Amino acid sequence: MNKTILVTGGAGFIGSAVVRHLINNTTHNLVNIDKLTYAGNLESLIDVADNDRYQFVEADICSADTIAQIFIKYQPDLVMHLAAESHVDRSIDGPAEFIQTNIVGTYTLLEVVRKYWSELDTKKKALFRFHHVSTDEVYGDLSNSEKLFTESTPYAPSSPYSASKAGADHLVRAWYRTYGLPVVITNCSNNYGPYHFPEKLIPLVILNALDGKQLPVYGKGQQVRDWLYVEDHARALYKVVTEGKIGETYNIGGWNEKQNIEVVQAICDLLEELMPDKPEGVAYYKDLITFVSDRPGHDQRYAIDAGKIERELEWKPQETFETGLRKTVQWYLDNSEWCLHVLDGSYRRERLGSIQE
């Protein structure tokens, strides 16, 4: 049965992967709401922008009246909420935007959705789902522990970003418990893959290396992260919104724990193979690695136990870290124009395929 799925933040890194997956692999109709901040890039959606089942609306989830009108117009059956400010360093420098978008925006959206859902007919109301997409960073720091984050791990956020996402998670659960809103929540590990904004570790290292610039690594690079290929994540999110049990949380991870320095070195090794013609003055890409002062309150280890989603929804990542990283590096080598438009800012001036409301 074809549904109308509304995605918030669908021009961002993970959101655009979800949009592409839904258009390319399902027959559902899709409405993409995005504010188009610096992290929203419509060039990541060129391949689906002209599809008859796809609509884009530029809107801010903090604007209740605007969002309510969108719900009235498109009558969604499912909501996938990915709109968020998501960069830890930016949250340290300017936490106010993170509180506004991640907490106030989620509250505003929940209230619009609650009113919309309460007025649906019995059949449509029973099938409706609100899927809130969150992060493993809400769980805090595993440090030297051998444990993994599970769905019952207590919250202990360390940064303004993770605290704002934790707050949003709590709101979603409260709207389920108090008002009966049919919700599902997912918490994911570090994503990587095509179309990733180059302030994040993997694309930053790739593009800096190709340009002969320093490859900055916090502290000694011993921080451990679990890495999840973004297209695997998109498949998991669709599984959860369509098959997940109401009121449940599902952790999504790649079973790929790596130290940051290992990730950087692996990228350098791939570039040696795939792009041996280096910038002038560079003998080896690893020579560009530069250790810099650690960020304040930097969590040392995140690691997700993705057993629940594997058992209950039969989802597993298709990519290993090695296969996913190779695909990622090759994508950046093959898509220099997309990278150039991000780096020079022109992607923000060319809002391709947008439908203004």
Indicate which residues carry an active-site annotation.
Answer: 136-137, 161
- Whether the CB-CB separation of 66 and 132 falls below 8 Å is answered with no
Q: How far apart are CA 108 and CA 101, in angstroms?
A: 10
Q: How far apart are CA 294 and CA 278, in angstroms?
A: 28
- Return the structure tokens found at 261: 């320095």
Q: Length of the chain in residues, anyone?
A: 357
Q: How far apart are CA 189 and CA 25, in angstroms?
A: 23
Pairing state of beta strands 78-81 and 190-192? unpaired
